[in-house]
């Protein structure tokens, strides 16, 4: 699914991980608090290359990309699974594309 995340700076890898959060939608018998992190990865464009779309604002950047929710009862498991996304080098050189639009669904 497509998702957005706010970050302080851009990185060359193009993979961004949110802070740990809780939501009852992700709660289950072992994860009663609904702990989760969100990972936003580059999206493949029409040319077959990966890109991250971003908007600059006063506090940093809003990143748009392919979103994955990582949920587990153990924070260490969540962190390990997020690092696996970060370590994978399947995206190659990521294009960074600034979006100059006011459309909320960019």
Long-range pairs for 27-35 at CB < 8 Å and ≥24 separation?
30/72, 30/73, 31/71, 31/72, 31/73, 32/73, 33/73, 34/71, 35/71, 35/72, 35/73, 35/75, 35/78
Residue 106 lies in a domain: no
Q: Which residue has the higher pLDDT, 106 or 19?
A: 19
**Share above pLDDT 90 across residues of the chain, in percent, rounded to a whole number:** 1
Average confidence (pLDDT) over 20-30: 85
Domain count, the chain: 1
Whether residue 11 lies inside any domain: the answer is: yes
What pLDDT is attached to residue 93? Answer: 63
Asked whether residue 35 is domain-assigned, the answer is yes
Is 104 within a domain? no
- Residues 52-97 have pLDDT tens digits of 888 888 889 998 888 888 888 888 888 888 777 766 656 666 666 6
What is the CB-side half-sphere exposure of residue 54 using CA atoms within 13 A?
26
Q: By residue range, what is the domain housing residue 38?
A: 2-98
Asked whether residue 7 is assigned to any structural domain, the reply reads yes
């Amino acid at each position: 699914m497509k998702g957005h995340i706010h970050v302080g700076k851009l990185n060359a890898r193009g993979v961004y991980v949110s802070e740990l959060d809780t939501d009852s939608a992700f709660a289950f018998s072992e994860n009663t608090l609904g702990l989760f992190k969100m990972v936003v990865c580059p999206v493949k464009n029409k040319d077959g290359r990966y890109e991250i779309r971003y908007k600059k604002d006063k506090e940093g950047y809003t990143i748009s990309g392919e979103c994955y929710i990582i949920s587990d009862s153990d924070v260490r498991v969540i962190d390990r699974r997020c690092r696996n996304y970060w370590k994978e080098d399947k995206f190659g050189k990521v294009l960074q594309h600034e979006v100059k639009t006011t459309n909320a669904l960019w």
